[in-house]
């Protein structure tokens, strides 16, 4: 998504090397995706489901 859109930034974070960040976001299982610091979902999933979740959180945040 980060390659396709200049609006998207993708950070892959090794949970064990960033324990404070992992704890702040309540990481219990991986992969855990955090969208704009607040939207959270866990697990690998097909592209359509992943994109839908990301965009839903992004829209939710934009709506305030």
User: Residues interacting with other proteins, by CB under 8 A?
Assistant: 1-18, 21-22, 25, 27, 30-37, 47-48, 51, 54-55, 58, 61-62
Residue 34 C-beta: closest distance to other proteins, Å: 4
HSE-CB at 24 with a 13 A cutoff on CA atoms is 7
Residue 41 C-beta: closest distance to other proteins, Å: 10
Neighbours of 24 (CB within 10 A): 11
HSE-CB at 22 with a 13 A cutoff on CA atoms is 14
Residue 48 C-beta: closest distance to other proteins, Å: 7
């Amino acid at each position: 998504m980060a390659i396709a859109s200049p609006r998207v930034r993708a950070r892959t974070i090794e949970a064990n090397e960033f324990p404070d960040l992992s704890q702040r976001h309540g990481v219990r299982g991986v992969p855990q995706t955090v969208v704009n610091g607040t939207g959270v979902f866990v697990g690998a999933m097909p592209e359509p489901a992943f994109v839908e979740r990301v965009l839903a959180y992004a829209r939710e945040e934009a709506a305030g």
